[in-house]
Amino acid sequence: MGRRGVPADAAKVVLDRFCEVGLIDDVAFAEAWVRSRHTGRGLAARALAAELRARGIDHEVAADALAEIGPDDERRAAVALVQRRLRTMGTLAREVQFRRLVAMLARKGFSHSLAIEVVRAELRPADGAAREGYHPWCGRSSLVHDHVERSRVMAPAARGKGRVAWLPSLSP
């Protein structure tokens, strides 16, 4: 109000009245902000604390509001974010998916260890058994795996000379 030319004594009277009526309530604002941004955008407590700090909310008030979010809530939010994002990443290589998902969770304020743990769990096959054409140790499809195996046993004389001479793969 001071920037708008409102006298300091008038601003104090108005702000005091707003506080009495309940129009200015940092506690209620912080609690609503945390609830809204955690459920709506999937932000972790670290990111929410930074947002509250940027909005001028006192550290103790922010800590009380953030106490509503427990480790299980953060894990559920991280899993939901990864599952939602994975639906659009089907054509990407597993390594690219892993890197992008961990980076997304880091930007949302999740710890590095939680991000890696959640992404690894979500990139694993659902039932723990090997999916058709899926190699769990490298995460590649059988087509990519077969190509890699064939290129390893390509005839040495054909390498780099424009000729392709495939030898049968020794692996079953």
Q: Are 52 and 89 in contact (CB under 8 A)?
A: no
Between 26 and 2, the more confident residue is 26
- As beta bridge partners, residue 134 has 141
Neighbours of 100 (CB within 10 A): 15
Q: What is the pLDDT of residue 168?
A: 47
The DSSP H or E segment spanning 141 is strand 140-141
Instruction: Output the pLDDT for position 22.
Output: 63
Q: 27-86, pLDDT tens digit by residue?
A: 888 998 999 999 888 899 999 999 999 988 989 999 999 998 889 999 999 999 999 999
Contact between 97 and 123 under an 8 Å Cβ cutoff? The reply is yes
Token pair 């700090």 is found at 53
Per-residue confidence at 10, pLDDT binned at 50, 70, 90?
confident
Write out pLDDT tens, residues 99-143: 999 999 999 999 999 999 999 999 886 545 444 444 444 555 544
pTM: 0.62
Q: How much is the average pLDDT of 83-94? A: 89
